[in-house]
Amino acid sequence: MRIKALATFIAICGVACAPPSFAQGKLGAYTGTVTVSGSIQGKYTSETYGGTVKITIPMESRSDTTGRAEVNDVDKPSAMATVTKFESSGKDSSPDSGGKINTWSCSLAAPVEVPMNAQGVIDLDYRAKKYSMFVALAPLKEVALNCNHSRSGAYKKKGAPGFLFGTAPPQQIPQKTLSLADPARLAAKYRMEPAGDMMGSHGPIEQEWDLRLVK
């Protein structure tokens, strides 16, 4: 469910975001940290996640009135996440041969750093003093989980935690914006409410970011 959801958002963002320019050095990049936590709910499964992300988002273009920072990782990840929470649970859709509904649960074995490919944009309106942002992060390695099954007991497996953050899902950009007090620093504590493809599966995403424009 998680990989499918992330793939959907990355595909949507890929359609909405133009390919980045590689002549970005003179314009600088937004660099900093994002803390994020959220949940995903399926018919028979649920998941909660959380962590802190260090990320660099290069400026692609800038004029007197607007600017855009964009990341579209292919060869090298732009983000490193410290995953601090990754818990999941679920139950079978039907009883087993003994008439019981089996359940299972998994939790992160230990906090772990995970390199992540990032895809997304920050759009800045200097005249209106507003900005919008959406970034999807896909993990480049799996993490160790400690699990338990109601019938067979303890076991271990691996999982792939990915994160989303921003002012709104892609379908609501650029309508959903935040105030832009200083283009050199984007800082906010913000809850992204589910919308579009997120409705019915994602809970609110609690976020706090501090991104500074570094040249």
87 burial level (CB within 10 Å; 0-12, 13-18, 19+)? middle
pLDDT at 17: 43
Structure tokens at 105: 């649960």
pLDDT confidence of residue 4: 45
CB atoms < 10 A from the CB of 7, how many?
13
So what's the pLDDT on residue 31?
A: 97
Residue 195 lies in a domain: yes
Q: What is the 3-state secondary structure (H, E, C) of the chain?
A: CHHHHHHHHHHHHHHHCCCCCCCCHHHCEEEEEEEEEEEEECCCEEEEEEEEEEEEEEEEEECCCEEEEEEECCCCCCEEEEEEEEEEEEECCCCCCCCCCCEEEEEECCCEEEEEEEEEEEEEECCCCEEEEEEEEEECCCEEEEEEECCCEEEEEEECCCEEEECCCHHHCCCCCEECCCCCEEEEEEEECCCHHHCCCECCEEEEEEEEEEC
Domain count, the chain: 1
**Residue 23: inside a domain:** no
Which pairs with CB-CB distance under 8 Å and at least 24 residues apart come from 19-23? 19/72, 20/58, 20/60, 20/70, 20/71, 20/72, 21/60, 21/61
Tell me whether residue 131 is in a domain. Answer: yes
User: What Å distances lie between residue 210 and 106, 127, 133, CA to CA?
Assistant: 31, 22, 13
Per-residue pLDDT of the chain (215 residues), as tens digits, is 454 445 444 444 443 443 333 334 689 999 999 999 999 988 899 999 999 999 999 999 999 999 999 999 987 899 999 999 999 999 988 888 888 899 999 999 999 999 999 999 999 999 999 999 999 999 999 999 999 999 899 999 999 999 999 998 877 776 789 999 999 999 999 999 887 777 677 889 999 999 999 98
Give me the pLDDT at residue 25, please. Answer: 60
Q: Two tokens at 197?
A: 């493809």
For tokens 């970034």, name the residue. 135
Q: Looking at residue 20, what is its pLDDT?
A: 37
Contact 109, 145 (CB under 8 A): yes
Q: Look at residue 21 in the predicted model and tell me its pLDDT.
A: 37
Q: Are 94 and 130 in contact (CB under 8 A)?
A: no
Cα 72 to Cα 117: distance, rounded to the nearest angstrom? 8
Residue 206 belongs to domain spanning: 2-18+28-214
Write down the pTM of the prediction: 0.83
